[in-house]
Amino acid sequence: MAQVETQTVVQSKEKVSSPWRDAWKVLRKNKAAVIGFIIILFFIAIALLAPFITDYKYDEGVLTDKNKPPSAEHWFGTDYNGRDVFTRVVYGAQLSLWVGFFSVIGSIIVGTFFGLLAGYYGRWIDMLISRIFDIMLAFPSILLAIAIVAILGPSLQNALLAISIINVPTYGRLVRSRVLSLKEEEYVTAARAIGMKDSRILFRHILPNSLAPIIVTGTLGIATAIIEAASLGFLGLGAQAPEPEWGKMLADSRQYIQKAPWTVIYPGLSIMLTVLGFNLIGDGLRDALDPRMKN
């Protein structure tokens, strides 16, 4: 009898699944999300393997080979300086993904911290932080980024910093709204009743229950950050020559769009596919992590 009860307990434990495991099962069945994962993994792979994929250097060219069409020697053709476009697109994946990931990570860390403070403590802290967010959101994001880079100086690192700053309010307000609802839950009240410290309540109970919307918004935010980095690069405020950032490549080649369209097509396609991949993953995560989307 004891053995039967033990087997029953073991089987029941195996059947118990966490919300994250359930979300992963739903995500795997989402064909669009799977396609998004494949696209992003492809670009991550070529970014990591760039030195092994091409024999050319992204900053060296032969002027006698400038603006040559795609061929067996130069798969994506060459640009106005005789540089291999395929090589520059491959190395550009490193820069664009680097900016996308780290700018969003910075925005999430800072925005989450201030969102937790504003939502949990309220009163003048909430008012001060919320007004700062409102002021930042009153400006168009790209104009605010341009202003920050203009002050700091044009470079890829400053563009990354600017993109991180302009997106802080997005995550801060998201976390604040979650904290406002979660801090009224019974388990938070019980934690306060037993004398648990505020920091432990915030980072042990409230923050873990706020991760789902942060992850979804962060995934979509990577796509937005890549576009913003490309926009700053196109305006000459992001990556500087000879860095092969996709937006900078578009800006440098726009005057050759009729004579050498391949110099614009391939960087543009890279931006489009990368953004599409992150958007598909973000939509899939939203469907998988949002309880309202489940039957």
- Shortest CA distance to 86 belongs to which of 65, 104, 70? 70
Instruction: Identify whether the C-beta of residue 100 lies closer than 8 Å to the C-beta of residue 245.
Output: no
Residues 232-267 have pLDDT tens digits of: 888 888 888 788 888 888 888 888 888 888 888 899
- Distinct helix (H) and strand (E) counts, the chain: 13, 0
- Enumerate domains of the chain plus CATH numbers: 85-293 (1.10.3720.10)
Q: Which residues pair with 145 in a beta bridge?
A: none
Query: From residue 283, how far is each of 1, 30, 224, 255 by CA, in Å?
Result: 49, 10, 14, 36
Residue segments in the chain with a per-residue pLDDT below the cut of 70: 1-20, 22-23, 290-295
Instruction: Identify whether the C-beta of residue 125 lies closer than 8 Å to the C-beta of residue 188.
Output: no
- Shortest CA distance to 60 belongs to which of 76, 78, 72? 78
d(CA 265, CA 263): 6
d(CA 220, CA 259): 35
- pTM of full prediction above 0.85: no
Q: What type of residue sits at position 285?
A: L
pLDDT of residue 186: 77
DSSP 67: T
Q: Which residues pair with 78 in a beta bridge?
A: 84
